[in-house]
Chain A
Amino acid sequence: MNAPNQSGWKPTSPVAGTADGANTVTGNKALMLEEPLIFEIGNCETTGVDLPEPDLSSNRLGGFERDAEIGLPGLSEPETVRHYTRLSRQNYAIDLGLFPLGSCTMKHNPRVNEKVARMPGFADVHPLQPVDTVQGALGVINELAQWLCKLTGMPGVAMTPKAGAHGELCGILCIRAALEAKGDAREVILVPESAHGTNPATAAFAGYRVENIPATAEGRVDLAALKARLGPDVAGVMITNPNTCGLFERDMKAISDAVHAAGGYVYCDGANFNAIVGRVRPGDLGVDAMHINLHKTFSTPHGGGGPGSGPVVLSEALCPYGPLPFSEFHADGTLTLVEEETAGERHPHSFGRMSAFHGQMGMFTRALAYILSHGADGLRQVAGDAVLNANYILRSLEDALDAPFGASGPCMHEALFSDKGFAEGMTTLDLAKGLIDEGYHPMTMYFPLVVHGAMLIEPTETESKAGLDQFIAALRSLAERARAGDETLKAAPIHAPRRRLDETLAARKPVLTWSEPEVAPGEPSLSEQGGS
């Protein structure tokens, strides 16, 4: 025979054997790439931009020149691209898969939103340009404001709050201003035990004392207990609807009526508005103020923790007290800004300004693009599919996981389970970390606080049935392991870029900034090495 394999290329077949111990020189594992900090790979002499370097010896800095090294490492452009691309690959994201964080609403982020936000007329305008040069920007604010008012059945909206919690503050300050205008100083805000932590924090920040209102066994606000507590000292209530147990507050109108009769106001936490948009208007339920997280209901990206945007719709009673500035639409089609200058005449009872400029414009353009894409019909379908998906998960898993309010009727956009029935020592955390190994982001854990070992699952409307079926199968398997006391779950995750992290160490000995490791005498320091 001639040369049996001249090239020497033999197809490989997987060899059975352990992957464990296959340590590499680099610490990388194929596509899983370790990445050092910029302080370890960059140095103060490298830059990824080309700029002139003018001489500053003659200057007008008044003798305040910064002489000492700042310590900011630079990287060339290719190194920069690689650094952040490698970091990005250590993140889970909606673009990768189901992200069922209850109450956080991780839905698909349409890319046309990103495209329109970058149009020069929106991205490259200054907030203090003369008003007649920004009519289109004010037009976006005005058009979005009209949508929000019509979708909520409320007459006015404050657009400037920068996130949900900032919106809460806006609403509570409106309530306080309205009461003060009547000379009616009140001290207490009532908040259900299951509320988001921002609610009591906001009320306290606005100078109120917070009292809890209990829930009924079925997971809703206890109307009788609420009514019993109302009185001349109660400024208002903060109710989340649909609530954090995933249930619609059936008695919302009765709650509002009772609070109004007692001289208080109703704040609704609108974090879960995505469940009811186009199907119920909070204005019809007697709500006085409600923030809308544009990054939840209207798909603006979460960006790894913000920026958010939290416009607040207001009732007739609270509109006069809303913050500055806002845009005003005139019959001739022009828009003006009401700022401090004209507030005395146009908006004399405003509680004032909450931040510089006009709100999160970059989020407004994205949210408006999303709303226009869906239209009134599509948004109604959004709520329907979100609720359908959540109920599908609830009913598909309630034999495998304890659903504390499973008997309280259909859930809204999120399904709530607990750790009841897990083997001794097995926790919600173990199950959540197991989900990571299955390729999912875990659900919201240990919230709401009122349910032990809570697992709050919000699939959103942008998941397919096939995707949900696979998730349900994964969760069912994990639930069975937790019930059976499968100790291997304690080691999860084992396939993620990192194993479980030592949060105790991080909190006991906080290391919040990088500093150069101490080097042995005689060795060059990192910056000396980098500078060469």
Chain B
Amino acid sequence: MRYLPLTDADRSAMLETIGASDVDALFADVPADHYLTAPIEGLPLHASEMAVEKHMRALSKKNLAAADAAFFLGAGAYRHHVPATVDHMIQRGEFLTAYTPYQPEIAQGTLQMLFEFQTQVARLYGCAVANASMYDGSTACWEAVAMAGRVTRRKRVVLSGALHPHYAETVKTMARFTEDQIADALPSLTAKPDNAGLIARIDDQTSCVVVQYPDILGRIPDLAEIAEAAHARGALLVVVNTEPVALGAIKAPGELGADIVVGEGQSIGVGLQFGGPYLGLFAVRDPKHVRQMPGRLCGETVDAEGKRGFVLTLSTREQHIRREKATSNICTNSGLCALAFSIHLTLLGEKGLRALAAENHRLACIAADRLAKVPGATVLNDTFFNEFTVILPADARAVVRKLADDKVLAGVSLGRLFPTVDALSGGLVVAVTETTTEEDIETLGRALEEVLS
């Protein structure tokens, strides 16, 4: 077996040192009636690298890869071009095969990268402090809700109807067990987000209001108005962002009064990968809330010779020390994805991020104008970044299914996201990035015209 260095002679010599007759004797504490003496039946035996590749390639080919289609899916996962440098650097063994940096003297590479990452995220979000990452955007969203409860000591949570439904479901699942009361809603198909309706749901028992920016329909809500209303009631504003590239074009949530900003970082540096692993981002505007934050934090310090260095810090918030009183049970972060994000954002820099965002928006405007010309279809949004909602005169889900046969992946239907709500079934969320060509847009326009005629 190519991954096992021991030879039979090694094994014999080692058993002699140990004083055991054979390897099975080392499992003497396993009750004999439960000890397996042979490989489990009905499972394949070992295989060569070539055979494994062949098997996996066959499975891979049963999928329609985005590159092989006219591709318009978003709704929490976006297809951007990732420079070759990113994937090359994250495969350096010193990053790929390192552990959590618990021994800082020999983990400065990971630690310095995390310190840079935290600063990048804090600046992107307009916040004071960001952590070293969470599992993904949806779990970060729940952690923000839980943190708001710790800060305000309140248990009532108001979710915007235009929050990604997977995120809302994740929060609702967890809240059932923590006895937080969740007030949720459905999105209204209006050109502007329903801020007035959201604000009316905030009361004096509300711990936080959770708003997505841009929202699940692609609209850009006025956060300042919501922040003011929340703060007037002593509630926190939690802002969720699923498309960080947008923050190269639109104002940072922290600037607009968000108290906790969380989101999905996948767009920058991390590929689609059928939904995971992704990258949860988590930041707070007010540094005094740091001790209530979940997850790892990297901080600057000096070594015994006075040289600058970095360590994991404020660990007493965490499970391995605080156990049942920890701020979260989270143990890992999403380190390698954070590295990919940080490298990609370093390659972009401010100039590149702004150019990338502008190019996304330019193409999205072209797409919105083109799809508005499809007979029977209307574009819902007044505002958007790189994603908008088209209302079709048909069940959008069936349309998406049909167009896939012609290698047009038209978008995410609201029927897929909100399966039981008939009023939303005509909605199609269309995302456009720098990877979309004007030909792709025309292909989608024509395909919709054909299927709707």
Contact = CB atoms under 8 A, between A and B. Distances in A.
| A touches B (Cβ under 8 A) | yes
Contacts of A163: 135, 330-332
Contacts of A173: 173, 177
Given A307-B337, A387-B26, A498-B307, A109 B40 contact: no
Given A500-B303, A501-B309, A125 B274 contact: yes
Interface residues of B, number: 210
B77 A501 contact: no
A523 B116 CA distance: 25
Interface string A148-177: 001100000000001111101100010010
A421 interface: no
A227 interface: no
Given A464-B5, A513-B130, A441 B106 contact: yes
Contacts of A464: 5-6, 10
Nearest to B81: A49
Contacts of A93: 93-98
A508 to B, nearest CB: 10
Nearest to A72: B350
B296 interface: yes
A64 interface: yes
A46 B444 CA distance: 36
Contacts of B277: 162, 306-307, 309, 360-363
A302 B385 contact: no
A507 B314 contact: yes
Nearest to B343: A84
Interface string B156-180: 0000000011110110111011110
B77 A126 contact: yes
A62 B220 contact: yes
A278 B5 contact: no
Contacts of A323: 173
A465 B14 contact: yes
Interface in A122-148: 122-130, 132-137, 139-140, 143, 147
Interface in B110-164: 110, 112-113, 115-116, 118-120, 122-124, 128-130, 132-133, 135-139, 164
Contacts of B27: 248, 276, 279-280, 387, 410
A121 B101 contact: no
Interface stretch (B41-49, B195-203, B229-237, B370-378): B41-49
A515 to B, nearest CB: 8
Contacts of B278: 357
A84 B89 contact: yes
A66 B220 CA distance: 13
Contacts, number: 710
A499 B311 CA distance: 12
Interface stretch (A1-9, A348-356, A476-484): A348-356
A488 interface: no
B322 interface: yes
Contacts of B87: 118
B92 A88 contact: yes
A369 interface: yes
Interface residues of A, number: 202
Interface string B235-276: 000000000000111111001000000001000000111111
A303 B85 CA distance: 17
B89 A165 contact: no
B397 to A, nearest CB: 9
Nearest to A83: B346
Contacts of B190: none
Interface stretch (A11-19, A312-320, A373-381): A373-381
A451 interface: no
B186 interface: no
Nearest to B347: A48
B126 to A, nearest CB: 8
A28 to B, nearest CB: 12
B384 interface: yes
Contact of B3 (A119, A120, A352, A374): A374
A496 B229 CA distance: 53
Interface string B266-299: 0000011111111000000000001000001111
Given A72-B349, A87-B113, A247-B29, A128 B77 contact: yes
Given A54-B358, A85-B92, A74 B275 contact: no
Contacts of A519: none
B45 A376 contact: yes
A236 interface: no
Given A253-B34, A498-B307, A302 B97 contact: yes
Q: Which of A72, A85, A93, A353 has the most CB of B within 10 A?
A: A72
B383 A361 contact: no
Nearest to B45: A375
A121 B44 contact: no
A122 B83 CA distance: 18
- When A and B form their complex, which 6 residue pairs have the shortest distance between CB atoms, in order from nearest? A74-B349, A357-B275, A303-B336, A121-B60, A95-B93, A136-B62
24 contacts: A51-B359, A75-B346, A80-B89, A83-B346, A84-B113, A88-B109, A95-B96, A124-B271, A130-B401, A132-B404, A135-B63, A140-B56, A197-B331, A198-B331, A302-B98, A303-B335, A304-B95, A323-B173, A357-B276, A392-B14, A410-B18, A462-B3, A496-B105, A514-B119
Given A305-B99, A512-B300, 9 more contacts: A70-B123, A73-B346, A87-B113, A116-B56, A162-B139, A169-B329, A357-B76, A368-B56, A391-B26
